[in-house]
Amino acid sequence: MESQALIAQPPREVFLNGVPASKGIASGTIYVFERSKITLHSHDQAVNDLNAEIERLHLALKRSEKELEKIALITEQKIGKAHSEIFTAQIMMLHDELFIRTIEQRIREERRSAEMIASEEITKYQQAMLAANEDLFRERVDDFQDLKERIIRNLRSGQIISRIPERSIVISTMLTPADVILFSRQQMLGCATESGGATSHAALICQSLGVPMVVGLHDIAEKVRTGEMILIDGYDGNVVLHPSPETLALYERKAKRKLTALSAGLTKSETKTACGRRIYIYSNIDFKEELPSLEKFGSEGVGLFRSETLFIAGGDTPSEEEQTDYYRQIAAELAPRPFTVRLFDVGGDKFLFASYKEANPNLGWRGVRILLDIPELLENQLRALLRANQHGNIQVMIPMVSSVEEVRAVKKVLSKVESDLRKQKLLAKQPFMLGAMIEVPSAVEMIEELAQELEFFSIGTNDLMQYTVAVDRNNEVVQSLYNRVHPALVRMIARIIKAARKYRRRVSMCGEMAANALVTPLLLGLGLREFSVASSNIPEIKHVISRTHLSDAKDLAAQCLKLATASEIEQTLRTFKAHYQL
């Protein structure tokens, strides 16, 4: 007995679950990347030679710029110009006169070190981003953290950490886009972090590099040691520490299955269920730079273009001409495939005016409410879309509809704009189809009346979930309530599809639920025939569709519609998935 106890036992497997941020499966040895901490000591504060301090600042800014230029170049070579712009944006900040002048002035006035002041100034930008109450901005806070650490390290003449053991899996509290690019040169196999969102720049770069990533793993950097074995599943957000041979084999099979789905010509062929019913999968896009990913993943068009990103890209309200050009380019590239543009969904958790604040933005001035209150905004966008519709493939949907009146009001503006354009001989081809996002419970309640006003629906489960279950989609504290297959939501989806069928209206789903492969058979069973997801999700969804028989899916839907809890539905979906080996 005693001698047995002396034999070293293999370490026990530990299963952790985070948020999937970049697809793929990787296993290997851990490299724990410790970010150099920016500790600002009180001795930083006494500055006597002010000119020397300002010279030191400029030297550090210059060095930082050189580093970033190099990283931008590597990025461009590896994954293209669009991504390298993350770093060009940081370089621009290093040239920002206001930023530099403020630091210089404060050094002179406060006689404190460049480290202290630069750090405080960048922190101000970070706080403004956090306060923007918009995911896209919050996640950019990490980019500023990178810039801050870079400037401070260069002020101290510190060395950049860019070399890690080859083919490691990097674990860290957080990773910046620059870290990911530099580590990819040592063929980083995968990475996992405590913080960071699935749409952060670091995650987007991992996706383009094909490096699996899982984020949101609390305390992981403390739980692991460099050299230990780990497995990362970027499809479902699973992480296994000290994986057993059985677990490794299991995941190897999963990786193969995913790859087969990709390579089995699925991307090229039409999407059909196992029983031959044609299904359509479109892409959700935010920028035109994403169009190449449609070809790569075999998308059939754009099911959701979040046009409000035009504000974010330019900062100001985009003019009618700018919009016409932008829409025209995308529509031409996609034709004859559909280009579904959602009218500006600004406000709420989405950026509009930096100065405008509300106590409860998600229930406030947002989407169609803003469009109707600022007629010029709506008219310009509708004019641009009508002018851009040269190929007849543009379709337009109204965001955040909560009443029939709103739809009628938009239609009134549309017919006025249309007749103006006709008189001016600027009308491109034919009027576009008008639809609405169904993402507010009152719209579900009024779905039959809405079907009589509109030509199509797109189900926005992200907001529909938020408003139905009363969970803030951006509040981490209640995320466990948000990411569920709630029976109320399932019943609402069934109702929307039923009404759409009754009035022969098309209906698709562009919320995240459409990209959840576990739910795909249920959605098919409920009658959904059009999906719109981020392009990289298409192969997986297509694979599940191609293995599902509609008769089984219908039985599954009937069963789920009777269940009372999210756990029961999720368990039923898991059993279905295991049974049919999806």
**Residue 134 within binding range of ligand PEP, rule CB under 6 A:** no
**Residue 162 within binding range of ligand PEP, rule CB under 6 A:** no
Q: Which stretch binds ligand PEP (CB under 6 A): 160-168, 261-269, 273-281, 454-462?
A: 454-462
Catalytic residue among 201, 486, 543, 560: 201
Least CB distance to Mg ion at residue 99 (A): 34
Distance between CA atoms of residues 58 and 62, nearest Å: 6
**Residue 290 within binding range of ligand PEP, rule CB under 6 A:** no
Least CB distance to ligand PEP at residue 570 (A): 19
- Contact criterion met (CB below 8 Å) for 167 and 186: yes
342 by DSSP, 3-state: which? strand
Distance between CA atoms of residues 240 and 254, nearest Å: 14
Q: Is 470 exposed, middle or buried (0-12, 13-18, 19+ CB in 10 A)?
A: exposed
List of residues 6+ apart from 411 with CB closer than 8 A: 434, 453
| Interacting residues with ligand PEP between 497 and 536 (CB under 6 A) | 510-511
Size, binding site for Mg ion by CB under 5 A? 3
Distance between CA atoms of residues 444 and 489, nearest Å: 10
Q: What angle do CA 258, 263, 264 make, to 5 degrees?
A: 95
Distance between CA atoms of residues 73 and 67, nearest Å: 10
Toward ligand PEP, which CB reaches closer, 160 or 312? 312
Residue 511 contact, options Mg ion, ligand PEP, none, Cβ 5-8 Å cut-off depending on partner type:
ligand PEP
**Residue 343 within binding range of ligand PEP, rule CB under 6 A:** no
State the CB neighbour count (10 A cutoff) for residue 312.
16
**Residue 300 within binding range of Mg ion, rule CB under 5 A:** no
Least CB distance to Mg ion at residue 508 (A): 14
Sign of CA dihedral 258, 260, 263, 266: negative
| 549 counts as catalytic | no
Size, binding site for ligand PEP by CB under 6 A? 10
Element (H, E) at 322: helix 320-334
Cis peptide before 245 (omega within 30 of 0): no
- Contact criterion met (CB below 8 Å) for 521 and 548: yes
Toward Mg ion, which CB reaches closer, 489 or 582? 489
**Residue 53 within binding range of Mg ion, rule CB under 5 A:** no
Least CB distance to ligand PEP at residue 518 (A): 17
Residue found by looking up tokens 């770093």 in the block: 87
**Residue 367 within binding range of ligand PEP, rule CB under 6 A:** no
Toward ligand PEP, which CB reaches closer, 57 or 304? 304
**Residue 237 within binding range of ligand PEP, rule CB under 6 A:** no
Toward ligand PEP, which CB reaches closer, 148 or 342? 342
| 510 counts as catalytic | yes
Least CB distance to ligand PEP at residue 510 (A): 5
**Residue 438 within binding range of ligand PEP, rule CB under 6 A:** no
- List the alpha helices (DSSP H) in 15-110: 50-79, 81-94, 97-110
| Interacting residues with Mg ion between 308 and 347 (CB under 5 A) | none
Q: Which stretch binds ligand PEP (CB under 6 A): 187-195, 447-455, 459-467, 541-549?
A: 459-467
51 by DSSP, 3-state: which? helix
* From candidates 177, 197, 460, 525, binder to ligand PEP by CB under 6 A: 460
Residue 53 contact, options ligand PEP, Mg ion, none, Cβ 5-8 Å cut-off depending on partner type:
none
Q: List residues bridging with 163 in a β-sheet.
A: none
Q: Is 341 exposed, middle or buried (0-12, 13-18, 19+ CB in 10 A)?
A: buried
- Contact criterion met (CB below 8 Å) for 208 and 74: no
Catalytic residue among 83, 510, 543, 560: 510
* From candidates 439, 530, 540, 552, binder to ligand PEP by CB under 6 A: 439
Q: Which stretch binds Mg ion (CB under 5 A): 92-100, 273-281, 431-439, 567-575?
A: 431-439
Among 503, 382, 19, 34, smallest CA distance to 215 is for 19
Distance between CA atoms of residues 118 and 128, nearest Å: 16
| Interacting residues with Mg ion between 449 and 468 (CB under 5 A) | 460, 463
* From candidates 199, 293, 462, 474, binder to ligand PEP by CB under 6 A: 462
Least CB distance to ligand PEP at residue 399 (A): 7
* From candidates 53, 146, 300, 463, binder to ligand PEP by CB under 6 A: 463
Toward ligand PEP, which CB reaches closer, 298 or 460? 460
Buried b (16+ CB within 10 A) or exposed e, 1-24: eeeeeeeeeeeeeeebebbbbbbb
Residues with catalytic roles: 201, 510
By CB under 6 A, name the binding residues for ligand PEP.
304, 306, 345, 439, 460-463, 510-511
Binding residues for Mg ion, rule: CB under 5 A, are: 439, 460, 463
